[in-house]
Chain A
Amino acid sequence: MSAPDRPRRRRGASVRSAPYGFLAPTAVLFLLFFALPIGYALYLSVRKVQIKGLGLGPDGREEVWAGLANYRGALTDSELLDGALRVLGYGAIVVPVMLGLALFFALLLDDEQVRGRRFGRLTIFLPYAVPGVIAALLWGFLYLPSVSPVTDALETLGLPAPDFLTGPALYGSLANIAIWGGTGFNMIVIYTALRALPVEVREAARLDGCTPLQTALRVKIPMVLPSLVLTFFFSIIATLQVFNEPTTLRPLTNNLSTTWSPLMKVYQDAFTGGDIHSAAATAVVIALVTLVLSFGFLRLATARTRREENAR
């Protein structure tokens, strides 16, 4: 619709306000579903419940200002620190193995001489479509000694069957679930980047007499480095947020506590202990650590890539 007889001035004003109009839906949604909850969590984290006497009846408790007491509590909490260390150990297995496998499969599927590539791509990706809780349950059955077909098979062969849910093996068992579920996704990301490489580059490498292995190591991997950085970035975040697998396996073993990972600690504070204020403070701390670690890595990685590009 046009209004040719409208005064010029007014039209200018509406043009100038147009960007705000376009921005409004995003801004409103951002405020409502992102800024507001975060703001509320921050607000909760500086409050606390104060109980008087026995704490029974209508005047038993009130919410008061807590300052940074909840943060002090979170930072000095040895359970939270232990949880963070456990997750570091877990991440030290998950991230390298998962990304290593993802890269390996992506390179393999990218090689034109490999047969059954469509099928391979699908089967490696499929576990990613299985919900995390289902995956953990599924693996849980395979880990429980008396019902596990793995244990059964090993014992039939006369081999000692490991107890998957005890000691250091537990870390491997948990990591295995994440690797099983996550490799496919990361492989697709890397594979897509590989497919996007210009044909000339591959051709040039071949003409120069590169073996497929050399092409992979010297040409393909350096060129998909940004994707590797990205998958690494995703994996760090996913590792710091581990919750489903240990929570689902917990009832099956004595060795997983209710505060095994930092997020489980938040859950426990909020929903078992009923202390939403401590939980909010811990959640904020975890969010900050995740932010610093993941973006710190991203910055480091991009700065390095840029430096290398300049050097070239």
Chain B
Amino acid sequence: MRHRAFAIGAATLLAVTTLGGCGSSDDGTVRLTYWAWAPGMEEVVALWNEANPDIQVTVKKQASGDELVTKTVTAAQAGTAPDLVQAEYQALPTLASNNVTADIRAEVADVEERFTPAVWQQVTLGTDAVYALPQDSGPLLFFYRADLFEEFGLDVPTTWDEFADTARELNEVAPDRDLTTFSANDAGLFAGLAQQAGAQWWTTETDRWRVAIDDEAGRRVSAFWEELVAEELVDNQPMYTPAWNQALNEGRQIAWIAGVWAPGTLATAAPDTEGRWAAAPLPQWEAGENATGSWGGSSTAVTTDTDHLPEAAEFATWLNTDPEALTALVQQGGIYPAATDARTGGALAEPPPFFANQPDFYETVAEVAEGAAPAAWGPNVTVAYSAFNNAFGSAAGRRAGFEEALAVMQRTTFDDMDRLGFEVVQ
């Protein structure tokens, strides 16, 4: 008797768990789940749900970044992935290589022209497929303390040579302050700087990958920063630490190279400095150019697990191209939209509150964003990124050995792909 009760209990439990992932209810309403981390996404999706009673989307809040990639891949293997997922551009090859993202080319045939080729190429991975729709971009800019630059008589650098000179000048007039820090705890910034110099870390050539992290562009960028770090003209401590927050808040670091999303981060890290910052184009390698890289930015992908591919693609299209949706995304989520026509006017007419002193903030950004270099991501970005953390962390700590660190990053990335069986050359 006992045993039978136990068996029935176990069977019921199994039945309940297997029934967990259904997508349609009896009344014909399509129900989609969407894993996303952008703040305010619920409010944006509510607009859709109101207008589309037969396609209801539920947002499930996630932690951002690498964790979500692992989680989504695992969920897809178990057959419990959501219908849609917010994915950073650099995660798309990993997701596509694990067969998590569906090819939605047929469903989104006419939206390509809404995006710049550099952005579009990141969701096609250079193939004929479309693995996601671009949502936001993170073009790199030079953020600096306008008040302190004036106080110390510094000019805003327009080239990297001038940037080094600025660091040197600051070191003379205020030895206890640093222009910025070379941080090894987020490879995204280094990747963006390398893109600006022309790096294409992963490229596809018909049926094989090419890994080119340790190339001319990468060496140029790493040699530049090694010199600054070695001469102690910039700090070598990681960012996003309590010490870093304090250095920014107290003006001991007076500039930061970051994506267009920096105002949000600065508002949290350095609340006392509101209204004292300004954004300028990233310094250039050749005077007069307008090139930048990207740090961050994400897309909306439909998973292969979905039973409602057309509806999911329809929602993704609305979310990333509809003016109402984009305005809501900018206002609620503070994102910088990837769709080019949403980058001027509307919600972006006013600067972010933290930069209220710079009325033309988004005009500067729009100009810079036009020069965003195409990024080229591969299926093991996370491996390359952690190789960066380790190799450049150690090099930054010693203030030497950046060239070798770049070589280690290249080797680790290539070996990992080679070991897994990818067709890969370097």
Q: Report yes or no: B99 in contact with A251, Cβ–Cβ below 8 A.
A: no
Residues of B44-89 at the interface with A, using a CB-CB cut-off of 8 Å, are: 66-67, 69-70, 73
Closest chain-A Cβ to B359's Cβ sits at a distance in Å of 34
Residues of B within 8 A of A256 (CB): 393
Stretch at the interface among B110-118, B192-200, B234-242: B234-242
Q: Report yes or no: A257 in contact with B422, Cβ–Cβ below 8 A.
A: no
Closest chain-A Cβ to B306's Cβ sits at a distance in Å of 14
Give the CA-CA distance A147 to B245 in the complex, in Å. 10
Give the CA-CA distance A58 to B379 in the complex, in Å. 14
Q: Report yes or no: B243 in contact with A254, Cβ–Cβ below 8 A.
A: no
Q: Report yes or no: A146 in contact with B420, Cβ–Cβ below 8 A.
A: no
Closest chain-A Cβ to B171's Cβ sits at a distance in Å of 18
Contact digits for B128-159, partner A, Cβ 8 Å, 1 yes 0 no: 01000000000000000000000000000000
Q: Report yes or no: B99 in contact with A254, Cβ–Cβ below 8 A.
A: no
Q: Quick check: is B301 within 8 A (CB to CB) of the other chain?
A: no
Q: Report yes or no: B70 in contact with A274, Cβ–Cβ below 8 A.
A: yes
Stretch at the interface among B35-43, B203-211, B308-316, B320-328: B203-211
Residues of B368-426 at the interface with A, using a CB-CB cut-off of 8 Å, are: 379-380, 382-383, 385-386, 389-390, 393-394, 396-397, 416, 419-423
Closest chain-A Cβ to B224's Cβ sits at a distance in Å of 19
Q: Report yes or no: B99 in contact with A257, Cβ–Cβ below 8 A.
A: no
Stretch at the interface among B90-98, B270-278, B292-300, B333-341: B90-98
Option from A54, A56, A251, A275 in Cβ contact (under 8 Å) with B420 = A275
Q: Report yes or no: B383 in contact with A146, Cβ–Cβ below 8 A.
A: no
Give the CA-CA distance A60 to B247 in the complex, in Å. 47
Q: Quick check: is A61 within 8 A (CB to CB) of the other chain?
A: yes
Residues of B within 8 A of A144 (CB): 241-243
Q: Report yes or no: B390 in contact with A258, Cβ–Cβ below 8 A.
A: yes
Given A56-B96, A251-B185, A272-B383, CB of A258 within 8 Å of CB of B420: no
Q: Report yes or no: A146 in contact with B94, Cβ–Cβ below 8 A.
A: no
Closest chain-B Cβ to A10's Cβ sits at a distance in Å of 17
Q: Report yes or no: A51 in contact with B422, Cβ–Cβ below 8 A.
A: yes
Q: Report yes or no: B237 in contact with A254, Cβ–Cβ below 8 A.
A: yes
Q: Quick check: is B304 within 8 A (CB to CB) of the other chain?
A: yes
Q: Quick check: is B127 within 8 A (CB to CB) of the other chain?
A: yes
Residues of A within 8 A of B258 (CB): none
Q: Quick check: is A252 within 8 A (CB to CB) of the other chain?
A: yes
Q: Report yes or no: B382 in contact with A274, Cβ–Cβ below 8 A.
A: yes
Q: Quick check: is B364 within 8 A (CB to CB) of the other chain?
A: no
Residues of B within 8 A of A30 (CB): none
Q: Quick check: is A7 within 8 A (CB to CB) of the other chain?
A: no
Q: Report yes or no: A251 in contact with B241, Cβ–Cβ below 8 A.
A: yes
Closest chain-B Cβ to A260's Cβ sits at a distance in Å of 9
Q: Quick check: is A116 within 8 A (CB to CB) of the other chain?
A: no
Q: Quick check: is B184 within 8 A (CB to CB) of the other chain?
A: yes
Option from A52, A57, A141 in Cβ contact (under 8 Å) with B421 = A52
Given A251-B240, A258-B389, A274-B73, CB of A56 within 8 Å of CB of B421: no
Contact digits for A255-285, partner B, Cβ 8 Å, 1 yes 0 no: 1111100000000100111110000000000
Given A51-B421, A54-B423, CB of A252 within 8 Å of CB of B238: yes
Residues of B within 8 A of A257 (CB): 389-390, 393-394
Give the CA-CA distance A145 to B237 in the complex, in Å. 11
Given A60-B97, A144-B243, A146-B246, CB of A273 within 8 Å of CB of B416: yes
Q: Report yes or no: A51 in contact with B96, Cβ–Cβ below 8 A.
A: no
Residues of B within 8 A of A58 (CB): 99, 304
Given A53-B423, A254-B237, A257-B389, CB of A61 within 8 Å of CB of B70: no
Q: Quick check: is A166 within 8 A (CB to CB) of the other chain?
A: yes
Residues of B within 8 A of A147 (CB): 242-243, 246
Contact digits for A34-51, partner B, Cβ 8 Å, 1 yes 0 no: 000000000000000111
Q: Quick check: is A253 within 8 A (CB to CB) of the other chain?
A: yes
Give the CA-CA distance A274 to B421 in the complex, in Å. 14
Give the CA-CA distance A49 to B420 in the complex, in Å. 6
Give the CA-CA distance A113 to B134 in the complex, in Å. 74
Closest chain-A Cβ to B5's Cβ sits at a distance in Å of 14
Q: Report yes or no: A51 in contact with B97, Cβ–Cβ below 8 A.
A: yes
Q: Quick check: is A67 within 8 A (CB to CB) of the other chain?
A: no
Residues of B within 8 A of A251 (CB): 185, 238, 240-241
Give the CA-CA distance A53 to B205 in the complex, in Å. 11
- A52, A55, A252, A272, most chain B CB atoms within 10 A: A55
A–B complex contacts, Cβ < 8 Å, 27 sampled: A49-B420, A51-B422, A53-B207, A53-B208, A53-B423, A54-B423, A55-B97, A56-B97, A56-B129, A57-B103, A58-B99, A60-B99, A144-B243, A145-B243, A146-B246, A166-B397, A251-B240, A252-B243, A253-B237, A254-B238, A254-B393, A257-B389, A257-B393, A272-B382, A272-B383, A273-B382, A273-B386
Residues on B close to A: CB < 8 A? 66-67, 69-70, 73, 93-94, 96-99, 103, 125, 127, 129, 184-185, 204, 207-209, 236-238, 240-243, 246-247, 304, 379-380, 382-383, 385-386, 389-390, 393-394, 396-397, 416, 419-423
- By Cβ-Cβ distance, the 4 closest A-B pairs, closest first, are A254-B397, A51-B421, A257-B390, A254-B393
